[in-house]
């Protein structure tokens, strides 16, 4: 069983793609699927990844996951929704830990923010 690496190269427990899909998203061991910054002319646009410990978006400053990150993850994980839920749950737990460690209040809507929008 191949291991799929999902958003930001985080390993996923689910090998969801067929062998014929190897290449762009998965392939040999160590293949990575990432949300990367886009290059526009000479300028590199920041990726929509979380900035810890505050958990705001590196690309737009909104609460992470922002609308762009959500859209990108839905595309990235289109064939493996369970892996998306696994990734988002791990990020939600990390956000709770970071916010508590920094003595910041944990928002009441954190579950909805991280997992409520992604449906199986």
Note down pLDDT in tens along the chain; length 120 residues. 334 444 555 444 433 443 333 333 333 333 333 444 555 555 555 689 999 999 999 999 999 999 999 999 999 899 999 999 999 999 999 999 999 999 888 888 999 999 999 987
Q: Three-state DSSP class for 27? A: coil
Q: For the chain, what is the total number of helices (H) and then of strands (E)?
A: 3, 4
Domain boundaries, the chain: 37-116
Phi, psi of 90 (to 5 degrees): -65, -40
Strand partners of residue 26: 22
Residues 6+ apart with CB under 8 A from 3: 11, 12, 13, 15, 29
Query: Is this structure's pTM higher than 0.85?
Result: no
As given in the structure block, the two tokens for residue 13 are 């427990």
């Amino acid at each position: 069983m191949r291991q799929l690496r999902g958003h930001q190269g985080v390993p996923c427990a689910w090998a969801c793609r067929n062998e014929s899909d190897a290449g762009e998203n998965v392939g040999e061991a160590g293949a990575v699927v990432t949300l990367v910054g886009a290059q526009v002319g000479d300028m590199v646009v920041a990726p929509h990844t979380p900035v810890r410990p505050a958990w705001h978006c590196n690309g737009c400053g909104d609460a992470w996951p922002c609308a762009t990150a959500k859209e990108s993850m839905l595309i990235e994980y289109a064939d493996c929704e369970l892996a998306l839920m696994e990734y988002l749950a791990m990020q939600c737990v990390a956000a709770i830990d970071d916010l508590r460690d920094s003595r910041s209040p944990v928002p009441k809507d954190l579950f909805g923010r991280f997992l409520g929008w992604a449906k199986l």
